[in-house]
Amino acid sequence: MPVQAVGLNPDELKVLETLRLFCIAYADPASMAWEQAFETCTHEFGPTCGPRIGMATMQVMSALRISRRTTYSFTNPACSCCRHTLSDHELQMMSLLKAQRRGDGLARQTHAVILCEGQRPERFLASMESLADCLNDLAKPTHPKQTSLQKKRIRFSH
């Protein structure tokens, strides 16, 4: 499926690239792709949030590896012709992330059970929740604008 068809926002696209790099690191440890994954996160999300998102992303993949019995298929992020498509597993993963971010519990549970192949998804879901929280924190404005709903000083006269 084309990546653009899923409607990932820019931060989710960066997470997808990071997930793929961690997959390469697990598939070929000598590649040391985990270094590139953390560098990508630091570059894209900044020196404060980047490492946190990188660690949360790595924990998602680690928890999934423990839950699954079969291989997880992924697309090589370095392949110029393939990187714009999602494997079936990547589609489930990114759909789960989107469901977690919007608080859709049923979709979240469904995608997790599929990815974990019917195994207990609790650890995997907890790590996905942590990743979604990191991304949601990043999306919050640092200086919220005053809204009309905020308290205003009212002067009473007698």
- pLDDT tens, 84-135? 999 999 999 999 999 999 999 999 999 999 999 999 999 999 999 999 999 9
User: Does a structural domain hold residue 13?
Assistant: yes
Q: pLDDT tens for residues 53-93?
A: 999 999 999 999 999 999 999 999 999 999 999 999 999 99
In-domain check, residue 156: no
- Residue 152 within any structural domain of the chain: no
In Å, how far are 57, 98, 147 from 46, measured between CA atoms?
15, 22, 28
Q: In which domain, by residue range, is 24 found?
A: 8-139
The verdict on residue 35 lying in a domain is yes
List all residues 6 or more positions away from 63 whose beta carbon is below 8 Å from its beta carbon. 123, 124, 126, 127, 128
Answer yes or no: is 83 within a domain.
yes
> Is 64 among the domain residues?
yes
* Average pLDDT score over residue span 3-16: 96
Question: Is 158 part of any domain?
Answer: no
Q: What is the pLDDT of residues 13-54, one digit of tens each?
A: 999 999 999 999 999 999 999 999 999 999 999 999 999 999
Residues in the chain, overall count: 158
As for how many domains the chain has, the answer is 1
Q: What's residue 140's pLDDT? A: 78
What angle in degrees, to the nearest 10, is found between the helix axes of 10-27 and 122-139? 140
Q: How confident is the model at residue 138 (pLDDT cuts 50, 70, 90)?
A: confident
Tell whether 150 is covered by a domain. no
pLDDT of residue 155: 53
- pTM: predicted TM-score of the whole model, two decimal places: 0.86
pLDDT, tens digit, 9 for 90 and up, residues 144-155: 443 444 444 445
